[in-house]
Amino acid sequence: MLKVGLTGGIGAGKSEVSRLLAEYGAVIVDADRIAREVVEPGTPGLAAVVAAFGEGVLAADGTLDRPKLGGIVFADQDKLKTLNAIVHPLVGARSAELEAAAGPDAIVVHDVPLLTENGLAPLYDLVVVVDAAPQTQLDRLTARRGMAEQEARARMAAQADRAQRLAVADLVIDNDGPLEALAPQVRRVWAELTARAAARP
């Protein structure tokens, strides 16, 4: 099994890279998706979040009001740490389960937005970083996701900066350009991953 960490700043295009790798046959372990699953209604995770942040973070239907919670934690580093202390162990345990189920010959790509910030690079055989200039990220967040510029900047500021991410990269995918320039790069990365997987004892 080859364990790959995939990361990139918000708006860099990591989700699209993840989707393309899945088409080639990678087993994707999506930390964001798991992070949503572990705080679904009825889970111990949601109960812990409500205990920490109050009933105000729940929507009328009893689900987690993610934008509301995001507004609280992205404005306060201590509150963000509190949330991470609840969610990260749950995500880690579920990720390990999914990885174990993938089989010995699999290339398992862990799609982890905060890989750099949480010092997770040593957990993987190699790290792939999807890179884009900060201005590109900002343009995508405001134009495509409809985020207010202030919120987009706050989300970006809450993450590692570009240099910090590149410092942990074994392979870099440059996604500063148009979407059609992305696929050939992902194809090259997949070829590299399969070669490394084949070379492992």
**pLDDT at residue 7, rounded to an integer:** 97
pTM of the shown model: 0.84
182 near 175, Cβ under 8 Å? yes
**pLDDT at residue 158, rounded to an integer:** 85
113 near 34, Cβ under 8 Å? no
Q: What is the CATH number of the domain that holds 134?
A: 3.40.50.300
**pLDDT at residue 74, rounded to an integer:** 82
Low-confidence ranges of the chain (pLDDT < 50): none
Q: Quote the number of domains for the chain.
A: 1
For residue range 88-126, list pLDDT tens digits in order. Answer: 899 989 999 999 999 889 999 999 988 999 899 999 999
**pLDDT at residue 100, rounded to an integer:** 92
For the chain, where are the alpha helices, taking DSSP H only? 14-24, 31-37, 44-53, 66-73, 77-100, 134-143, 149-157, 162-167, 182-199
**pLDDT at residue 62, rounded to an integer:** 95
CA distance linking residue 109 with residue 26, whole number of Å:
6
**pLDDT at residue 98, rounded to an integer:** 93
CA distance linking residue 95 with residue 106, whole number of Å:
15
Residue 108 belongs to what domain range?
Answer: 2-199
